[in-house]
Amino acid sequence: MSFYLDDAQRQTLTQRRNSFTWRTEWPTWLLIATIYGGWFFIASHARALGLSAAIPLLALFSAWYMSLQHELLHGHPTRSACLNGLIGFAPLAVWFPYRVYRDLHVQHHDDPHLTHPEIDPESYFVSGDTWRHAGPLTRALLIARNTFWGRVLLGPAFSIAATATQALRKPLRGDWSDVPAWLAHFAALAVLMTWLDRACGIAPWLFIAGVGYPALALSAVRSFHEHRAAASHEQRSVINEAAWFWRLLFLNNNYHLVHHDLPHVPWFALRQVYETSRQHYIERCGGFLVNGYGEWAGLYAWVPVAHPAHGAAPATSRVTPVVSAERAGHLPRRLMR
């Protein structure tokens, strides 16, 4: 990855690698304790807090947990994939086995093929053939998914359906590699839901619908337009200068181009790497810079940000808020967004 580093970045990374924080990764260990401790504290005190408060808080912590799982699969806080997998195994966010998510996300990091629906498992585009053969309802849902609120409301259902379809198709093709992960996931989920129901007063349906689905919806805020179709793969990943709440919830994955360039860099170092070479990254992403997630919500609340078919003409005449490198140096550095 050194091809992508300028001198300032090299110096910053060298300093951080040799630091006590990077060597011990204590911020990630603290994060693990906070997320697990907070999640189980809220669940075990659900009756005292009231379900109207406990369920949204659990959804928030579950979304945070998914960000932690993303950090774990990239080799943090330990170099042991087995130990990291054990930390991320718990089904606190309901839907996907950690190992299945890990394998799909590693495939997503094939940067030259970002956004291509046949190769990138996290693409929100479909192939031209899929679009041509889709019926009116499917087309309407695909268009709606490419609006901000459509992604938040419908995106989780698409993800769940796609993952379930893959889970069923692989054994039919003779590939049973994911079956143990799914069986272990369902067993752990059954144990967790039984405890939530009997000890905490949280019914299984409420955990699934009130915690699991909203957690995916929160994560969909981050992924709404973090990748765009562009000729150069470096220009397909966004830089989102989000406020501190979103940076913490998404563990600085809003600096998405930095993460794709340097996936080995831990979450707590990403912002400094970006700030050290801000202009470099703005130029590298072709000005694909956003001033917080509110900008997407304002521009594309109910308007599709792109046509669902990969390589098709834009779905709307609105211009994606991509800025020139010259203008980017003068953008306000707001925190309240």
**pLDDT tens digits, one per residue of 172-229:** 999 999 999 999 999 999 999 999 999 999 999 999 999 999 999 999 999 999 999 9
Q: Say if residue 319 is in the same domain as residue 281.
A: yes
Report the pLDDT value the prediction gives residue 335, as an integer from 0 to 100: 34
- pLDDT reported for residue 19: 85
pLDDT score recorded for residue 174: 93
- Residue 7 domain-assigned? no
**Cβ–Cβ < 8 Å for 24, 288:** no
* CA distances (Å), origin 302, targets 26, 69, 209, 297, 311: 41, 30, 24, 9, 21
Residue 70 is assigned to a structural domain of this protein: yes
**Residue 176 and residue 38 share a domain:** yes
Q: Are 188 and 305 contained in the same domain? A: no
pLDDT range class, residue 9, cuts 50, 70, 90 = low
The verdict on 155 and 253 lying in the same domain is no
| pLDDT of 184 | 97
pLDDT for the residue 312: 73
In a domain, 13, yes or no: no
Asked, for residue 53, whether it belongs to a domain, the answer is yes
Are 56 and 158 members of one domain?
A: yes
Show which of 203, 223, 243 is a domain's final residue: 223
| Least confident among 230-244, 260-274, 277-291, 315-329 | 315-329
Q: Are residues 131 and 51 in the same domain?
A: yes
Give the domain range for residue 271. Answer: 233-328
Domain end marker among 223, 242, 262: 223
4 domain-assigned: no
| Residue 228: inside a domain | no
Helix (H, G, I), strand (E, B) or coil at 240: strand
User: Where does residue 139 rank: exposed (0-12), middle (13-18), buried (19+ CB within 10 A)?
Assistant: middle
Same domain, 219 and 240: no
For residue 307, is pLDDT > 90?
A: yes
Predicted local distance difference test score (pLDDT) of residue 314: 52
CA distances from 123 to 3, 107, 167, 169, 223 (A): 26, 11, 18, 19, 10
Is the per-residue pLDDT at 336 higher than 50?
A: no
23-38 average pLDDT score: 97
> How confident is the prediction for the chain on average, in pLDDT?
89
* Range in 79-93, 225-239, 304-318 the model is least confident about: 304-318
Give pLDDT, residue 166: 92
Question: Quick one: pLDDT at residue 22?
Answer: 87
Mean pLDDT of 267-272: 94
| 174 and 250 co-located in one domain | no
Question: Is pLDDT of 33 > 80?
Answer: yes
The answer to whether residues 172 and 26 belong to one domain is yes
When pLDDT is averaged across residues 240-259 and rounded to a whole number, the result is 96
Residue type, 174: G
Buried b (16+ CB within 10 A) or exposed e, 96-124: bbbbbbbbbbeebeebebbbebeebbbbb
Do 172 and 296 sit in the same domain of this protein?
no
Q: Within a domain: residue 177?
A: yes
Does 148 have pLDDT greater than 80?
Answer: yes
pLDDT at 321: 46
pLDDT digits (tens, 9 = 90+) for 75-91: 999 999 999 999 999 99
Number of domains comprising the chain: 2
Are 122 and 266 members of one domain? Answer: no
Q: Which of 200, 223, 246 is the last residue of a domain?
A: 223
Do 194 and 132 have their domain in common?
yes
More confident residue, 77 or 318: 77
Q: Is the pLDDT of residue 315 over 60?
A: no
Q: Tell me the pLDDT tens digit for each residue of 34-68.
A: 999 999 999 999 999 999 999 999 999 999 999 99
Cβ atoms of 317 and 271 closer than 8 Å: no
pLDDT exceeds cutoff 50 at 324: no
Mean pLDDT to the nearest integer, 149-166: 95
Percentage of the chain with pLDDT > 70? 89
pLDDT value at residue 51: 97
335 occurs within a structural domain: no
**Mean pLDDT over residues 234-253, rounded?**
96
